[in-house]
Amino acid sequence: MTLPSLLLLLFAVFSSAAGQIMLKHGMKTAAATADAAGGSLAVRAVTTPWVVVGLTVFALSAVAWMTTLARVPLSIAYPFNALGYLVVVLAAASVLHERTSPWTWAGSLLVVAGLVTVFYGQRN
């Protein structure tokens, strides 16, 4: 895999994770507003800036992912989604202050170990 392809792949994974965190934050805000003021959650969601930006970032990550798939074998690219899982768990705990258990962290480390195994296995 070339360096530009790797960078594109990492951009796709990290921007997807960032979009998910933005969507989660925006939907918490939209749900709280809908509960407090009434109205439709769907209407609140599409008018919440974090949701709109999150969807935009997520769409951008989808374009980057499709471009990655045109350049990198799926058997190499897809395991990198595991890195996105780790980023989401880290951000959920640190940015959104969600509770995580030791089992979540242990599972996340196993997923990353699998990613490292696939990555280095493809290089040989």
pTM (2 decimals)? 0.84
Q: How many domains does the chain have?
A: 1
The H or E element that residue 84 is part of is: helix 81-94
pLDDT over 90 (residue 98): yes
* Domain housing 94: 3-123
Evaluate if residue 56 carries a pLDDT over 70: yes
Whether pLDDT at 88 is above 80: yes
pLDDT tens across 58-67, in order?
A: 999 999 999 9
109 vs 48: which has the higher pLDDT: 48
Residues with Cβ within 8 Å of residue 4, at least 6 apart in sequence: none
- Say how many CA atoms lie within 13 Å of 14 toward its Cβ: 6
Residue 70: is its pLDDT beyond 90?
Answer: yes
